[in-house]
């Protein structure tokens, strides 16, 4: 029932994720942070089995940091993405696989901003925009329509708002808040949370 | 829901006169949802050796990685480029090792012998049963359609340019009849002195 959205443009990657934490019919909180900062230049928005998400994301985060400590430089986004995929693929045929779907955003001077989509089976694609979840199914068409590689940050945020408006209109499950973070050459910064009351105003 | 048709996709290979061709579609999807139109299913394993891995996308990536590892060790030990027949046996072995928990890919191999330049194609099922015919091999969610198209269009001793036309038409008309294949095509023509890679302009649906 969770939803993550991501758009990669020429200068930045923008990720949005819903903030609802629920167990079956009960909503625990509406301000959950589902994005994990793997490093200054890597951001991961994770959905999936409760517990697996945090465990897997933190495991990857610590290993990324360990590599940096051991070698003195960080893993590039493609290397980090492939490392993550390898871990997920190895866990797939183990006794208890991780049930996580996520978007990995990375920025490096050499390659620029990149967005990787990965599902629980460890299929991976590098793509200009991507989504996960039922909400994602509504959003991907909107991104197809409005995406351009040279979008400004404000324009990309507006596309995210359009997507969230559609999700809140058409998805039966209530997802009132969406957290938005941007990753660019200066690092990660958060934009305003998209809230349902702000959209209708 | 069949595991081999979860992501969709198809690959075929054909023999020609002194050349081989291998082609695939470019769609990556999750059941009915298309997510990428530039997914790579065919991998270069040597200057004249290509393997296509249609099937479950995660296993496409994993088998490619594991195969590249084994092939690199082989080439380090043997100090020579692998023969396509030997490579085919290597792939078959890799798949049969997982006989009771297989990788969900059905490889298609196309290449030229590095010494004699003899064209070689082979295909296998997900547990590594090899098949090395004299004409063409197909695999993927539209395998039946590919069989029909290849049987109709293929003839022996096609020159590289004619082989390109033949394999392209066979691929496109077959995946146009399959909902979960298509969204672009890529064709590699492997000859003794060069490999030509062309992207096909196809119906993007």
Q: Which domain does A9 fall in, by range?
A: 4-198
Return the pLDDT at A197. 81
CB contact A92 to B (< 8 Å)? yes
Q: Is residue B75 part of a domain?
A: yes
The number of folded domains in chain B is 1
Q: Exposed/middle/buried for A59, CB within 10 Å: 0-12, 13-18, 19+?
A: middle
Cβ–Cβ gap A89/B39 under 8 Å: no
Is residue B12 one of the residues assigned to a domain?
yes
- Answer yes or no: is the ipTM higher than 0.95: no
Which tens digits make up the pLDDT trace of B18-40? 999 999 999 999 999 999 999 99
- Please give the average per-residue pLDDT across B47-66, as a whole number: 97
Asked if A118 has any chain B CB less than 8 Å from its own CB, the reply is no
What range defines the domain where residue B44 resides?
3-200
Provide the number of structural domains found in chain A: 1
The pLDDT tens digits of the residues spanning A67-99 come to 999 999 999 999 999 999 999 999 999 999 999
Chain A nearest-CA distance from B176, in A, is 22
> Residue B107's pLDDT is what?
98
Contact (CB<8Å) B58/A130: no
pLDDT recorded at residue A201: 53
- Residue B57: which of A86, A123, A130 has the nearest Cβ? A123
Are A130 and B35 a contacting pair at CB < 8 A? yes
Which helix (H) or strand (E) segment holds residue B90: the answer is helix B84-96
Tell me what the pLDDT averaged over chain B comes to: 96
Q: Give helix then strand counts, H and E, for chain B.
A: 4, 12
Question: Taking CB atoms and an 8 Å limit, are A123 and B61 in contact across chains?
Answer: yes
Give residue A82's pLDDT. 97
Phi, psi for A67 (deg, rounded to 5): -60, -45
**Any residues with CB less than 8 A from the CB of B118 and at least 6 apart, and which?**
B112
CATH of the domain at A98: 3.60.20.10
Domain-located, residue B205: no
By C-alpha distance, which of B54, B15, B52, B14 is closest to B142?
B54
Q: What is the pLDDT of residue B154?
A: 97
pLDDT < 70 regions, chain A: 200-201
DSSP B105: B
Q: What angle do CA B44, B47, B51 make, to 5 degrees?
A: 30
Distance from CA of A23 to the nearest CA of B (A): 26
Q: What are the two backbone dihedrals, phi and then psi, of residue A185, each rounded to the nearest 5 degrees?
A: -65, -20
A29 touches B: beta carbon within 8 Å: no
Which CATH number fits the domain that encloses residue B12? 3.60.20.10
């Amino acid at each position: 029932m969770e939803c993550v959205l991501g758009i990669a443009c020429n200068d930045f990657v923008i990720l949005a994720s819903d903030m609802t934490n629920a167990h079956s019919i009960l909503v625990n909180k509406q301000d959950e942070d589902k994005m994990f900062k793997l490093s200054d230049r890597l951001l991961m928005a994770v959905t999936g089995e409760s517990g697996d998400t945090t465990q897997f994301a933190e495991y990857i985060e610590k290993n990324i940091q360990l590599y940096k400590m051991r070698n003195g430089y960080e893993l590039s986004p493609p290397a980090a993405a492939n490392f993550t995929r390898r871990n997920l693929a190895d866990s797939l045929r183990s006794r208890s696989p991780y049930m996580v779907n996520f978007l990995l955003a990375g920025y490096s001077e050499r390659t620029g901003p990149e967005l990787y989509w990965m599902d629980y089976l460890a299929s991976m694609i590098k793509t200009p925009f991507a989504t996960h979840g039922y909400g994602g199914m509504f959003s991907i068409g909107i991104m197809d329509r409005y995406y351009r590689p040279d979008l400004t940050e404000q324009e990309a945020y507006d596309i995210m708002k359009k997507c969230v408006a559609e999700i809140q209109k058409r998805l039966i499950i209530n997802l009132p808040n969406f957290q938005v973070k941007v990753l660019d050459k200066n690092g990660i910064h958060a934009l305003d949370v998209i809230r349902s009351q702000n959209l209708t105003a | 829901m069949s595991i081999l048709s979860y992501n969709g996709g198809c690959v075929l290979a054909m023999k020609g006169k002194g050349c081989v061709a291998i082609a695939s579609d470019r769609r990556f999807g999750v059941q009915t949802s298309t997510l990428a139109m530039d997914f790579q299913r065919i991998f270069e394993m040597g200057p004249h050796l290509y393997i296509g891995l249609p099937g479950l996308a995660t296993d496409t990536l994993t088998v490619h990685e594991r195969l590249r590892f084994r092939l690199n060790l082989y080439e380090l030990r043997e100090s020579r480029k692998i023969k396509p027949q030997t490579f085919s046996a290597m792939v078959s072995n890799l798949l049969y090792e997982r006989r009771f928990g297989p990788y969900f890919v059905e490889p298609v191999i196309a290449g030229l012998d590095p010494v004699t330049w003899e064209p070689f194609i082979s295909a296998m099922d997900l547990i590594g049963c090899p098949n090395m015919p004299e004409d063409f091999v197909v695999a993927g969610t539209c395998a039946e359609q590919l069989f029909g198209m290849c049987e109709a269009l293929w003839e022996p001793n096609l020159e590289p340019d004619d082989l390109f036309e033949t394999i392209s038409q066979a691929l496109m008309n077959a995946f146009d009849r399959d909902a979960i294949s298509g969204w672009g095509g890529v064709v590699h023509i492997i000859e003794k002195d060069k490999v030509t890679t062309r992207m096909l302009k196809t119906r993007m649906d």
